[in-house]
């Protein structure tokens, strides 16, 4: 880290910073500028955190050089993480982007099965659906719980799709692992550290959604919490963030976050234009945008009767529209994939 001292920092202030660093094994170099003294410190930040240095008298600013997440960082693993499922489906690396589709909430088996059949027909790999819904209002539909997971598992087995559902409470984890192939941590729980730690001790891959107000660094640190407990199979999901303009969209989809995360982390990243925009007509263009910038998959909400959906009907694609969109997305994905392969063959 680099420590910049205040212009009026005293010799005693500077010595105190240097002593703390040296006592904790840091290599330090102190440069006295005309106005500020600057200290370069190289060492293990778990022994003295940047925050502890920043609290010392006379310290103006502490800048970190190495990203604070370690396991999630490209510095610790240069190759992309590839997650392989029992049926051979792979996410990440040079694999073709996958599609995870399904209703926001699982409401009944017949409706879910209709969506699952359409998803399978369109070449999707995952069936997603909520059983425990994190709703802003306690008066809104909260999900059908374990019964919904039973439907999900059955529809997954019937169609051969892998299943994804959100976990809200660590005490549900064992039960959920009986039903789903992938656990989802929703945007609202991205900093529920106990829950992150609990899924970190679990054997199922985890889709971690970006929080409504998470910076990219905070998002990667949330992934780090999961990985630190041993579960390295984390899939990051860009699902839009809050900003000032909500006149036309529900959230602001941060498309740049995808190549940024790819630069700093080896973890797979998927894009969720349904929550990212909240608008049906924006799903196709924003899914394509995500694929162009390197997303390893798309997550799209689909409902057999969106007008009657108990949550997120407005952004859910009805099945016929989903099939049209998915057909074009598949063509688009295949063309992009082919071009990428040609490009890397030429580079080699």
List residues near ligand PEP by CB under 6 A: 104, 130, 134, 186-188, 209, 239, 275
Q: The tokens of 310 are what?
A: 């108990």
Distance, in Å, from the CA atom of 59 to the CA atom of 57, rounded to the nearest integer, reads 6
Q: Is 323 left (phi over 0), alpha (psi -120 to 50) or beta?
A: alpha
Compare residues 18 and 223 and give the one whose CB is closer to ligand PEP: 223
Which residues touch 331 (CB under 8 Å, ≥6 apart)? Answer: none
The entry of ligand PEP, Mn ion, none near residue 258 (CB within 5 to 8 angstroms by kind) is none
The entry of ligand PEP, Mn ion, none near residue 186 (CB within 5 to 8 angstroms by kind) is ligand PEP
163: phi then psi, degrees, rounded to nearest 5: -115, 145
Residue 312 binding Mn ion, by CB under 5 A: yes
Compare residues 39 and 238 and give the one whose CB is closer to ligand PEP: 238
Could you tell me the smallest distance in angstroms from the CB atom of residue 51 to ligand PEP?
29
Nearest-CB residue for ligand PEP: 186
Q: Which of 1, 104, 223, 269 binds Mn ion (CB under 5 A)?
A: 104
Compare residues 130 and 297 and give the one whose CB is closer to ligand PEP: 130
Query: Quick one: which of 235, 166, 176, 224 has its CA closest to 202?
Result: 176
Report whether 56 contacts 39 (CB < 8 A).
Answer: no
Could you tell me the smallest distance in angstroms from the CB atom of residue 54 to Mn ion?
39
Q: The tokens of 155 are what?
A: 């529809």
Compare residues 73 and 251 and give the one whose CB is closer to ligand PEP: 251
Could you tell me the smallest distance in angstroms from the CB atom of residue 129 to ligand PEP?
9
Which residues touch 138 (CB under 8 Å, ≥6 apart)? Answer: none
Q: The tokens of 177 are what?
A: 């692992």
Report whether 50 contacts 123 (CB < 8 A).
Answer: no
Could you tell me the smallest distance in angstroms from the CB atom of residue 274 to Mn ion?
7
The entry of ligand PEP, Mn ion, none near residue 209 (CB within 5 to 8 angstroms by kind) is ligand PEP
Which positions lie near Mn ion, rule CB under 5 A? 104, 312
């Amino acid at each position: 880290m680099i420590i910049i001292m205040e212009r009026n920092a005293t010799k005693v202030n500077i010595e105190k910073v240097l002593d703390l660093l040296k006592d904790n094994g840091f290599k330090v170099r102190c440069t006295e500028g005309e106005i500020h003294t600057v200290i370069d410190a190289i060492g293990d930040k778990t022994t003295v955190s940047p925050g502890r240095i920043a609290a010392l008298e006379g310290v103006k600013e502490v800048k970190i050089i190495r990203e604070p997440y370690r396991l999630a960082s490209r510095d610790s693993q240069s190759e992309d993480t590839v997650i392989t499922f029992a049926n051979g489906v792979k996410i990440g690396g040079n694999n073709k982007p996958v599609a995870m589709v399904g209703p926001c909430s699982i409401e009944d088996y017949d409706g879910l099965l209709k969506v699952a059949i359409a998803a399978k027909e369109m070449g999707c790999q995952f069936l997603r659906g909520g059983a425990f819904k994190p709703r802003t209002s306690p008066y809104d539909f909260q999900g059908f719980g374990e019964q919904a997971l039973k439907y999900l598992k059955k529809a997954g087995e019937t169609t051969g799709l892998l299943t994804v559902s959100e976990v809200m409470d660590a005490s549900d984890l064992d039960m959920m692992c009986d039903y789903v192939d992938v656990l989802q941590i929703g945007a609202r729980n991205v900093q529920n550290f106990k829950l992150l730690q609990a899924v970190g001790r679990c054997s199922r891959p985890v889709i971690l959604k970006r929080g409504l107000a998470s910076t990219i660094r905070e998002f990667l640190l949330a992934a780090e919490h999961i990985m630190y407990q041993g579960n390295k199979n984390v899939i990051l999901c860009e699902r839009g963030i809050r900003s000032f303009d909500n006149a036309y969209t529900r959230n602001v989809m941060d498309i740049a976050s995808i190549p940024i995360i790819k630069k700093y982390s080896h973890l797979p990243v998927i894009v969720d234009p349904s929550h990212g925009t909240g608008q049906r007509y924006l799903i196709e263009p924003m899914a394509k945008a995500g694929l162009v910038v390197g997303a390893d998959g798309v997550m799209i909400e689909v409902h057999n009767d969106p007008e009657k959906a108990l949550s997120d009907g407005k952004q859910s694609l009805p099945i016929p529209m989903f099939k049209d969109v998915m057909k074009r997305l598949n063509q688009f994905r295949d063309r992009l994939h082919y071009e990428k392969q040609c490009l890397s063959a030429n580079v080699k």
